[in-house]
Every structure is written in C-alpha cells, then in structure tokens.
Structure 1
Amino acid sequence: MSAGLPAAGSASERTGPWVLMAQENFDRPLRVDGEPWRLDPQGPRSPWHVDAFDDDGEAWTKISGPLFKKQLDTLNVFRKRVAFGRDGWLTAEVAAVDKDRDGRPDSRPGLSNASLPGGHKVARISEPSWDAGVLIRPTRPLPPRYRVEMTLRGIDFGGKRHGTWDYNGRHNGYTREPCKTRYPWTFQGALPGKTRCQYPDVTKENGFYYLTILDYANPAPHGNPGIHYRRKVIMDGYYSDDERWKNAGTCNPKTGKIYRTFDGTFNGVNALFVRGDMFREAANNNISNEYYIKTACGNVSMDKPYGPGGRFKQHLTSAELQPQLLPKASYRFAVERDSTGYTLEMSGPFLHTGQTTLRVHHDFVEDGRPIWHYNQTPGEYDGRFDRRLVHKGPAGTYITKHSWPKGSAYPDSFIIGDPHLNYYEGQAYVDDIRLYVPSNAR
C-alpha cells in the first residue's frame, strides 16, 4: 500500500475481493483554478522532467540539431501541480503554452467543481485550447495490487454528434481558429523549413484518456510523442477521420462482428495492452510501442491485418459511447492489477448493446508477449525484453541503448484527461474516482 493513502473503509465499502482505500466524489471545493501559474524551467532540474523524450529532451536535439532549440525558444510552458482529495491522495496537473512569451499562458485550462442537473457534484476538466493539457493522477504511485476506477458523466472532446463533425460552432470539438498544429513536437523532431502554422494540423484528431496506466510516478501534460513511450495499458478515446485510419475497425460487442470505424459515430473506446516486444518504427520513429487488443470480437495485434479476409488494419475499437445519454447515464472505467497481469473494464450503455460490462485481461507476459514495463520492482523482471532502439531525424540519430534493462523498475500511475500539450481540446465531467486494494492485503 502506498504511503499517505487514507485508511480502509468499512465492510460496506468492499467490492468483491477489493477493499476501498481512497475515494474522491468532488463534493468539496477544488482550488486548482485559483492557484498561481509556475513557469516550467525545463531541463533535468525541472520538477516536470521525465526523460530524453520530454518537452526539451535530449532525443529531440540529437535528431533535430539546433533547429529544435530555436523552435522551443519561441514559447514557454506554464504549469500548476495541485494536490487535492482526502490527505491529498490525488494531484491535478495543468499546463498551457505561452506562444508569444508575454509571461502568461495563452489559454486557461483547469479543473473545477460543477453541478449536474439535480445538484450532483462532479469535476469539470476544461481545455478551451489545444495548446494545453489537464490531468488527474495519484499523488503517489499505485500499490502492487489494486483496482482503480472513475465515472464519466459528460464528454465533449470531439467525435461526431448527430452524424456530423460540425456542431456548437466547432469542428471535431475544436474552435475554428487557424494554425492549430503539432508545433514543435513531432515523432521525427523539428521539421526543417516549416513555420508553426505549416506544421501538421491537429484538428482531425481529438481525444481523451478515460483511464490509462503510465510507467512513472509524476505524469503531467507534455508534447505529444513522449507519452507513447510511457504507457502500460490504455483506455482512451481517439476521434479521427484521418485517411490513415480508413481501414480501422470497431467491435459490435452484441454480435461479435467488426465494422469500419468510418461507418460508426467516432465515439469509441480503445482498450489497449501496450506490447513490450514490438515498436512502431515507421509510423512513430520507435518512440511508440505496438498494441495488443482484446475485444468481444476477438484479439488482434495492431501490426497485422485482422477480420474477415484481413480487411481491417490499425486500431480495433472495443465499443462506442453514446455521449448524448450523459449525464442521465454514465460510464465507469476501471483498471485492475493482480498477481498475474492487468484487467481493463468498462461499463455503461454502449452503442448496440445497451447497459453492459466489458472486461479483458492480459497476463504480464502472455504467449511470450509482455506488457511494456509491467514490473514495479527489479525482481519481477529478468531483462529478457531489453533492446536497442534507433530514432532518426532530419539532423541526426538518437539511440536508446537499453529500452528495458535488467534491474529496472517502473511504478504504476494512472491518468485521466489530456496529457498532450499540442493536441486535443474540449471538456469532460468526471466523478467518483476510487482506489481499491485486495481485501487480503489489509
């Protein structure tokens, strides 16, 4: 059990083999939005430093040369880190870019209290501009065995509504101002000869992390590529009609049949086990793992075609939400880690099925296929999946000499929200975040 968590509750707070250890239902005032902004100093001494792939990471300089620093120097990043909940067991991480370096963030993302019809209290994650991010995470790493869950009461981070991408004056959840791009963070580093507005547009891609487990203790919003190297298991929404996803599939959990994602509503949930033995070299420059996906329609590895005749490629989405039913209805997302592996669970009124619960489990190592960085301690892993990774850019090469060495250890930490400083825009309403531990661990 992590230090500093509230004491266990009564027997009435048991859920099967689990005992409730901490809960946040947002009935007390949140003070996140009133806290002052702090300039991120960048570099290894920054409280938000992660590794070679964070905002000013060594990898980008190696593959981009002086151009990356020149581009990074055109902006500042301002942040907030605010503990909340009983005994401060949760932390809000809020960040926003200052593109004109006038000493203040260009937008006002935040986490605040909200009331639903009928007076029910929830938290509102607000991100009015794509060049910002908001996360909820545990203040301390998760225990060795746990169940963590959250309830979704509302979601407006893109996807179609009533058959169209255009609604409420927005396109795919984004306001219509020009120059919403990935600048300056791409998987290939800085792009020579490109201005900020000539970088790839992001408005075809919106999304939200419902509940995802990362492999380090203090997640916060960063440039998009880095998080792709730090995820263990994922439940997220990725709402995109980009041409490269034209052959992606979505599962109908009721029939067990797969249909084209482009024939759906673009409100899907992706439940992904991140592979520790395969990487997306061509698409993401070895800064992203490959994925293994288990659904009611079967299991697939995303590096291979799937479905009848191999007609589908890339993501297999597990189910589609029905946002129009919220907040009268709700969705619950949960991740469990036991002695064998991870379980991903989602419950709610999904398209095609109505109210149902979907659960999938993957062992830490299953059929020779490991979940990336699953080991919380060195003794859980013997180094067998360590490898050298090469990352190439327009000005050079960066080499990860050891991607998963013997003797390494990776804590579990969950995130809810948007971890990207250069993608995603919208708002969501979240509720009832809970942490359980096994009843026999008390």
Structure 2
Amino acid sequence: MTAGVGVAAMAVLAAGYPAQAADKKWVLVAHEGFDRPLRVDGKPWRLDPQGPKSPWNVGPFDDDGEAWTKMSGPLFQRQLRTLNVFRKRVAFGTEGWLTAEVAAVDKDKDGRPDSRPGLSTASLPGGQKAARISEPSWDAGVLIRPTRPLPEHYRVEMTLRGIDFGGKRNGTFDYNGRHNGYTKEACKTRYPWTFQGALPGKTRCQYPDVTRENGFYYMTILDYATPAPHGNPGIHFRRKVIMDGYYSDDERWKDAATCNPKTRKMYRTFDGTFNGVNALFPRGDKFREAANNNISNEYYAKTSCGNASMDRRYGPGGKFEGHLTSAEIRPELMPKASYRFAIERDRTGYTLEMSGPFLHVGQATLRVHHDFVEDGRPIWHYNQKADEYDGRFDRKLVHKGPAGTYTTEHAWPKGSAYPDSFIIGDPHLNYYEGQAYVDDIRLYVPKGEK
C-alpha cells in the first residue's frame, strides 16, 4: 500500500546535528572516540569449527545451517567443505563495551585467510582519530557491535567520517581501478550461500557475480546478542530496523526510487548517484516469498516523500517498485563533512535518524518513527521480553530449494524474546568490499533509567 505524501512521514529538521545528544532526556552511558590505538588486527585468527558448538553458531540459517542442507541435499555440504572460515572476536572500549567481529574465507584451505580484513585506528587529514574498517576482498566481513545486548530503551549513534564501499563517483562506477568499489579480478561470486542453498551444476565461478552490488550497514538492529559476519542470506531473517547503503545498478532495481527531501518528490534511483541511505522497517507479517524464499521480510519505508510498503508498486501513479531510499549522501565531502546515524528505542517503537549534507537538500536531519505495531503492521521481532508480545504474528514459513524444503514451524511464537544488538560495517562473507571511517559511537539511555 502507498500512504499519502506528507511531512509527518519523515521530519526534515533544521540544519546541523540534532540536539538529541544534549537533550535532557538522554544520559550518555558509553562512548568510544577511537583516540586510543585499537588492538584488533594483531589478534590471532581462529578457525570457526562450525556446527552447534561454534561460538558463532546462529541456528538453522547459519553458514553451515540445517536449512541449507535440507534445501540443497548433500551438494551444499560438499561445497561448504571446499572452504574454511577464520574469525576474530575482540572486545574494546571502556570496560570492553564494544566488540569487533572480523571474518575471512580460506578458499584454498591452506590454513590462513585469503585476505586481511580488519579494524584499526586511523588519522584523518585534520589529525583526528577514527576507526578504519578495512575489507580489501569481498569474501570477508568486519562488524562493530555492542558486547552485551542493548538496554530496553536507548539511543545509539555513530559518526561516519569516510566511506568507499561502492556507489558512483563523478557519475561513474569505475574509479581508482575498481568497479563499484570492487577490485576487478574475476570470480567474485556468492558461492556457496544463496537463498535456495547450493546451485546444482554450478561451480564457484559460475555462481552469480556480486560486483554490481556493494554496500555498508551504517546502523542496524539485529534480533540476537552476538552478530558476526556470515553468508548473506542469514542476516535477512534477523533484522529489526535498518539503516544501510545498498549500491546496485542491477536491472531488478530499475524502477526503485529515491526521495528528494527538499522537493518531497521521488526520482528514479538510476537517475541519482547510487549513494543512498535506506531507512527501513522489516515487516513481521509479510515475507518475500518469490524473491527470497520466505527468508527475507518485506520492508516498510517512511520518507519525507511519503511511505511505502515495498511489496507492491508505490509513488505517484504507482510508477516505482523496489527500494524507497530516504536520501543520498555525498562521500566526496568527507572527512571535512561527516554524517551521524542514530537509532532510538522508546516505549512505543523505533526512531531512525540521519544527519549530514545530503544531496539536493544540504545539511539536514531526517527522522522517522514507527510504532512496534502500527496500523496492524508489526516491526519484526520487536519484543525484547516475552511479555511484550502475545504471539499474534506467529506463522509457519516454508523455504524451498532445488533438492527439498526446510520449514520454520514458528517464526515468531508466543513466549519468544529477542535482544537488540546494533551492527556497523559489513555482515556478509560473500558480498561487499571497501573501507570506511567510523567515529564517536555513543550509547544513551533515558534519564532515570541509567
């Protein structure tokens, strides 16, 4: 459904960063400014043993999860045995309140990762310190997350000082010897993780190419305590609210739209710079059955150009389909300029906020709120406690693959509970490549709840 266009959909506030950080209702309880050297890259790699005893196991949609085997038969396990995954889990910050999760694939099984992703301290041109997320190869991932789940009510924010994870620069995807942020070697594919499991008759290099799709998670909330990089389908089942960048000129997004916050009118994403920010609420009542085999939720977007449920056409005359992106950042302005991304959880729902010099509108703060259940539409797995949810949106989901099916008997049962944990970076082991500079991660709670 397409809601009416209105300012209430996403507030466009005055120029400059929000007053939220100084607002009397918030109390700062944790802060990382990256002034002290990070000790992540020097830590040793650990081989992920896979299976239920792995410290990184996350159930049936894990890297070696039961779901993929049921959908693929023995082919998936054979393909998975062609590689290893090495990992690091390193706590840092005051009292270790943050954790770096770093992972890389070892495709030739020579006992070491094929690339060297990492998180390190970097100096910006003005001398200011920041954290550099470095991912030189697509078959790796780097995340920053909280060491412990977030409190019941909170505001978490980070400042972005620079990004090079794809998108256009000066009107082209080809720059600095790369295409869409990827180096130009052959055989950069999704192998072995797809939404249907293994692909019969396909070798590693015959799997779908990934270089038309790059991206970065600015700030996203997942529904479990220990997020880490995994094969990309699994995370689509774990997101509560999303602020990310997805930079793709794939033909399936040819009718997607981006909002111009100044005119409050949508334009074709393909007519922009491919540097948009998605502010999305995964729906707990609808799933992408055809495209993603019931593994990915449908999304609901709110922007200053209007609201859209992206399971159908939207916008004036129903001319758009696919993502509705909230605004476009301008990477060329960083680090002199910066962007702040924040998520708040209060007693009613979630608020997504982004601030910075956006294309078309200039310096602005964009905020959008969605109740836990709004107009009968629930945010997926919003409840941190069992008594916050009565089971009304529970359902069976059937996931079909080339060799069989896997069934999620209860996708959201009564008595379930899902902690909030944020991620910043790249959670995919078979997608995304580049680097970003992150600064000033802050956690606030409402006054009186410290």
TM-score by length of 2: 0.95
Shift of 1:13: 7.3
Question: Equivalent residue for 1:204?
Answer: 212
- 1:133-189 alpha-carbon deviations (Å, 9 max, x no partner): 000000000000000000000000000000000000000000000000000000011
- 1:66-98 alpha-carbon deviations (Å, 9 max, x no partner): 000000000000000000000000000000000
Which of 227, 231, 252 in structure 2 is aligned with 1:223? Answer: 231
Shift of 1:14: 4.4
Q: Distance in 1 between matches of 2:425 and 2:63?
A: 19
**Residue identity opposite 2:266 in structure 1:** I
Contact kept, 8 Å, 1:137 with 1:415, in 2: the verdict is: yes
**Where in structure 2 are the equivalents of 1:195-274 lying within 5 Å?**
195-274=203-282
Q: Distance in 1 between matches of 2:58 and 2:71?
A: 18
The 10-residue stretch of structure 1 (302-311 or 411-420) with the greater mean CA deviation from structure 2:
302-311
Question: Equivalent residue for 1:339?
Answer: 347
Q: For structure 1, which runs of at least 5 residues remain unmatched after alignment?
A: 1-11
Q: Distance in 2 between matches of 1:160 and 1:118?
A: 25
Question: Equivalent residue for 1:120?
Answer: 128
The 10-residue stretch of structure 1 (35-44 or 301-310) with the greater mean CA deviation from structure 2:
301-310
Question: Equivalent residue for 1:35?
Answer: 43
Shift of 1:47: 0.1
Q: For structure 2, which runs of at least 5 residues remain unmatched after alignment?
A: 1-19
Question: Equivalent residue for 1:79?
Answer: 87
Shift of 1:117: 1.1
The answer to whether structure 1 residue 21 and structure 2 residue 34 are counterparts is no
**Residue identity opposite 2:335 in structure 1:** P
Shift of 1:15: 3.0
Contact kept, 8 Å, 1:215 with 1:373, in 2: the verdict is: yes
Question: Equivalent residue for 1:322?
Answer: 330
**Residue identity opposite 1:279 in structure 2:** F
Q: Distance in 1 between matches of 2:163 and 2:234?
A: 25
Summarize the Cα distance change of 1:51–1:441 in structure 2 as closer, same or farther, 3 Å threshold: same
User: What SS does structure 2 have at the residue aligned with 1:292?
Assistant: strand
User: What SS does structure 2 have at the residue aligned with 1:228?
Assistant: helix
**Where in structure 2 are the equivalents of 1:3-402 lying within 5 Å?**
14-402=22-410
**Residue identity opposite 2:242 in structure 1:** I
The answer to whether structure 1 residue 440 and structure 2 residue 448 are counterparts is yes
Which of 429, 434, 439 in structure 1 is aligned with 2:437? Answer: 429
User: What SS does structure 1 have at the residue aligned with 2:291?
Assistant: helix
**Residue identity opposite 2:113 in structure 1:** P
Q: Distance in 1 between matches of 2:43 and 2:284?
A: 39
User: What SS does structure 2 have at the residue aligned with 1:140?
Assistant: coil
- 1:15-44 alpha-carbon deviations (Å, 9 max, x no partner): 331100000000011000000000000000
Question: Equivalent residue for 2:9?
Answer: none
Shift of 1:268: 0.2
Contact kept, 8 Å, 1:213 with 1:413, in 2: the verdict is: yes
Q: Distance in 2 between matches of 1:307 and 1:280?
A: 20
User: What SS does structure 2 have at the residue aligned with 1:62?
Assistant: helix
Shift of 1:307: 1.1
Shift of 1:440: 2.1
- 1:354-406 alpha-carbon deviations (Å, 9 max, x no partner): 10000000000000000000000000000000000000001000000000000
**Residue identity opposite 1:151 in structure 2:** T
Contact kept, 8 Å, 1:26 with 1:121, in 2: the verdict is: yes
Q: Distance in 1 between matches of 2:137 and 2:22?
A: 40
Shift of 1:127: 0.1
Contact kept, 8 Å, 1:14 with 1:20, in 2: the verdict is: no
Indicate the RMSD between aligned Cα atoms, in angstroms.
Answer: 0.8
Q: Distance in 1 between matches of 2:39 and 2:180?
A: 30
**Residue identity opposite 1:267 in structure 2:** N
Contact kept, 8 Å, 1:276 with 1:385, in 2: the verdict is: yes
Q: Distance in 2 between matches of 1:99 and 1:355?
A: 44
Question: Equivalent residue for 2:17?
Answer: none
Q: Distance in 2 between matches of 1:265 and 1:373?
A: 33
Contact kept, 8 Å, 1:32 with 1:111, in 2: the verdict is: yes
- Identical-pair percentage: 84
User: What SS does structure 2 have at the residue aligned with 1:133?
Assistant: strand
Superposed structure 1 runs of 4+ greater than 2 Å apart: 12-16
Q: Distance in 2 between matches of 1:61 and 1:259?
A: 42
**Residue identity opposite 1:402 in structure 2:** H
**Residue identity opposite 1:53 in structure 2:** F
Contact kept, 8 Å, 1:377 with 1:410, in 2: the verdict is: yes
Q: Distance in 2 between matches of 1:182 and 1:94?
A: 19
User: What SS does structure 2 have at the residue aligned with 1:233?
Assistant: strand
Contact kept, 8 Å, 1:337 with 1:343, in 2: the verdict is: yes
Q: Distance in 2 between matches of 1:338 and 1:87?
A: 25
Question: Equivalent residue for 1:6?
Answer: none
**Residue identity opposite 2:389 in structure 1:** Y
Q: Distance in 1 between matches of 2:417 and 2:316?
A: 40
**Residue identity opposite 1:285 in structure 2:** N
Q: Distance in 1 between matches of 2:420 and 2:242?
A: 12
**Residue identity opposite 2:61 in structure 1:** F
